[in-house]
A and B are shown apart, each in its own frame.
Chain A
Amino acid sequence: MRLHSMTSSLSASSRETAKMADVVNVGVNLDAFSHAISGIQALRSSVSRVFESLKDGMKNRETLEGREKQFIAEFQDNLQAVNRDLNELERLSGLVGRPSESHPLHNSGLLSLDPVQDKTPLYSQLLQAYKWSNKLQYHAGLASSLLNQQSLKRSANQMGASAKRRPKVQPSTLVLPPQYVDDVISRIGRMFPDMTIELFRPNGTSAVLLVTLGKVLKAIVVMRSLFIDRTVVRGFNENVYNEDRKLDIWTKSQYQVFQKVTDHATTALLHYQLPQMPDVVVRSFMTWLRSYIKLFQSSCQRCGRFLQDGLPPTWRDFRTLEAFHDTCRM
């Protein structure tokens, strides 16, 4: 029985790897692959022959001895056939090779295994969206370098090269080694004594930070290499983990004040943008977030009161870090 299940799982996995080979084309010997698949089929048939002969039992012969001998001889032949096929399969699987380990999309590459391609073209759309966002980042970088020049000339001769001649290189800031990201984050974490930053990588190489600010709040910041993608802010006494003991990055806070702070934090991460120097961006964002250590102690700079509609001043100015009510900000 175990042989059966093993061979069926082997054939299923080989089919899956065949599909993955379509997508990730490197390092797989397709010829040996097809031989291996037929080897699996041969193995399955010899295994089923064994079980069939067992099921049929002893054939009718003159003497009991003759029957037993014949049965044992047949059984032995079948088992030897199985052994032969298994060895052949092992040899072939050694030749097949491994599919490339470096899929850029990690777990989402498994989406390509969905057989219903025309109804749910998830994977192709995902690839397109990814390429589009990469291109967008690249163009944003180019645009920011152009705009930063602030040249007074009407025509920019330096970048006069046509689009074809511009190098189509991936922007380097998007593909940063995880070690570098770790270093930057730990350096920023050491800058502020009342703020602790923990780094997790629950899904692939994107870092998820858990920022604990004193005894006031906990913020979960989802990054994409060194760019901040989105953030959720919750109270100090709220649960940050879900039932699987993983960081819960989706649930909103149950308190209105922290829902407001989450909205402001999202505005902040859109405000602090510098495509060429993402570590400066992260540092500015953390400095801004740190101003919330006195969330419940500060009064609004404009109206002087603590509460407005039951909320303390939740807005922090991006330049001066002063506290304002959401309705009081200029």
Chain B
Amino acid sequence: MGVTCVCQVPVAEGKSVQQTVDILHKKLEQLGAVKQGSFCVDCETYHATGNVSGQPSKLLYVMHNSETPLSCLALFEGGPCLIADANFDVLMVKLKSHFQNSKAHKVECRGSRYRYCDFLIKVGTVTMSSSARGISVEVEYCPCVVPGDCWNLMKEFTQSFLGPSVPELPSVFAAKPEGLFAPADSVDTMTQYLELFNKLRKLQIPGSNVR
């Protein structure tokens, strides 16, 4: 577990989502990366019921990552987060009276996983209710634990296969450039995924009140 950066790749002009993903795969294989299976990150949204009227209800996001299959993450956007056992989903079912699942807003990101030297690259298609909304690329540099140290290195690597479009330093890291990226919990990675999912959700549903 090292420093992870999740960024969104725009769909190539005149091509479909699947074709862009294929182009990325080919570029990675040209670089010398080895395919190592697949990955899946998903996110379910729960509305908190029984709130003070007039205030928008808080949204609870429950996320899973195939990298850590035995745990799941529950977080409020910008708020506290909890790392729990996989049985947390069952608990949420029992808490139906307090948290309602909005099944229409389930977001999933699936794709293949590549390994190149000490880098782990995951190229995935973000789908919401079985319609592809965008492409996500997650790059992880495993040996390093301080994001401030290796950001330039990761940027150079990402540019080598994504092209010259410069990914920005994720906001999660801006807060703690010298800090230790706690490898045991994947909070920072999942927060980045959540931001990406929310961005993609807003893109396709402009003007909707449901966040």
Contacts and interface: CB of A to CB of B under 8 A. Distances in A.
B183 A297 contact: no
B116 A215 contact: no
A253 to B, nearest CB: 8
Contacts of B157: 306-307, 310
Given A237-B1, A257-B143, A305-B156, A216 B149 contact: yes
B152 A297 contact: yes
Interface residues of A, number: 20
A297 B141 CA distance: 13
Given A237-B145, A297-B152, A310 B116 contact: yes
Contact of A215 (B1, B146, B160): B146
B98 to A, nearest CB: 38
Interface string B145-157: 1100110110011
A235 interface: yes
B104 to A, nearest CB: 39
Interface string B176-197: 0000100100000000000000
A237 B150 CA distance: 15
A310 B119 contact: yes
Interface centre among B117, B152, B153 (most CB of A within 10 A): B153
Given A237-B183, A310-B116, A297 B143 contact: no
A174 to B, nearest CB: 37
B118 interface: yes
Interface in A282-324: 294, 296-297, 299, 305-307, 309-312
Contacts of B160: 307
B30 to A, nearest CB: 14
Contact of B150 (A255, A297, A311): A297
Given A236-B145, A255-B142, A255-B143, A307 B118 contact: no
A215 B153 CA distance: 17
Contacts of A237: 1-2, 145, 183
A180 B174 CA distance: 46
A258 interface: yes
A258 B143 contact: yes
Contacts of B1: 237
Nearest to B141: A296
Nearest to B142: A255
Contacts of B117: 256-257, 309-311
B153 A306 contact: yes
Interface in B25-52: 32
B92 interface: no
B142 A312 contact: no
Nearest to A312: B153
B83 interface: no
Contacts of B150: 296-297
B161 to A, nearest CB: 12
Given A215-B145, A296-B149, A297-B150, A255 B118 contact: yes
29 contacts: A215-B145, A216-B146, A235-B142, A235-B145, A237-B1, A237-B145, A237-B183, A255-B142, A255-B143, A256-B118, A257-B117, A257-B118, A258-B143, A294-B149, A296-B141, A296-B143, A296-B146, A296-B149, A296-B150, A296-B153, A299-B152, A305-B156, A306-B152, A306-B157, A307-B153, A307-B156, A307-B157, A307-B160, A310-B117
The 4 closest A-B pairs by CB, nearest first: A310-B117, A296-B150, A255-B143, A296-B149
Given A235-B145, A296-B153, A306-B152, 18 more contacts: A215-B145, A216-B149, A235-B143, A237-B145, A255-B143, A256-B118, A257-B143, A296-B150, A297-B152, A305-B156, A306-B156, A306-B157, A307-B153, A307-B156, A307-B160, A309-B32, A309-B117, A312-B153
